[in-house]
Amino acid sequence: MEKIGSFFTKLNHIALTICGIFIALAGVLASVNAILRFTRGTGFAFSDEMCVYLIALMIFIAMGYLEYSDNHLTIDIFNTTVKNPVIKKIVLYIRGIITLIFDGMLIRYGLIVTSAAYRYGSVTNVMQIPRFYIYGIVTASMILAFASWIVLLVCRKGEFEQGSVNYSV
């Protein structure tokens, strides 16, 4: 069980590295495009669309890590007011089950949308990227978040990953 937990820790850190690369690419692309528009009056036609996709995909790719380490944005009134660890653990399992249900629905419909985009050959507006690639990455990210909750609840017995994250590439 511990090997599975360490595998998911490594997998989630790889996802964070990909997110770091995406944010760096989006920042460089937006900066270069802004400089070109200022100095030459024109820029890259694809840069706005590419930046939006990079940032959106970054959010979804990071979701598995954020769930696995409990670093996502939450309203944490319960954990600050309740001191009993047993009650906290019960609420964690309930939260995990509810999250698994919603993630399962999102995965199901993500697969439906991805297959429909593939069948119809839907592409993005400017860059003409097949949309099923984008939808597939989002669905795969949801599968990672789903699997992270399974590992968290079953293998790690509700113990979130602790410690700082090494953001170096």
pLDDT computed for residue 73 by the predictor: 67
Residue that wins the pLDDT comparison between 147 and 88? 147
Residue that wins the pLDDT comparison between 82 and 52? 52
pLDDT computed for residue 96 by the predictor: 87
Whether pLDDT at 130 is above 80: yes
For the entire predicted model, the pTM comes to 0.78
Q: Is-contact 165 15, C-beta < 8 A?
A: no
pLDDT computed for residue 77 by the predictor: 72
Q: Is-contact 148 140, C-beta < 8 A?
A: no
Averaged pLDDT for residues 48-67: 90
Which has the minimum average pLDDT: 53-57, 108-112, 147-151, 161-165? Answer: 161-165
Which of 23, 26, 20, 21 shows the shortest CA–CA distance to 46?
26
Whether pLDDT at 139 is above 70: yes
Averaged pLDDT for residues 50-74: 85
CA end-to-end span of the chain, whole Å?
28
Which of 25, 30, 18 shows the shortest CA–CA distance to 59?
18
Averaged pLDDT for residues 111-135: 92
pLDDT computed for residue 3 by the predictor: 82
> Mean pLDDT across the chain, nearest whole number?
85
% pLDDT > 70, the chain: 89
Q: How confident is the model at residue 36 (pLDDT cuts 50, 70, 90)?
A: very high
pLDDT computed for residue 114 by the predictor: 95
Q: How confident is the model at residue 66 (pLDDT cuts 50, 70, 90)?
A: confident
Residue that wins the pLDDT comparison between 141 and 76? 141
d(CA 139, CA 103): 10
pLDDT computed for residue 169 by the predictor: 43
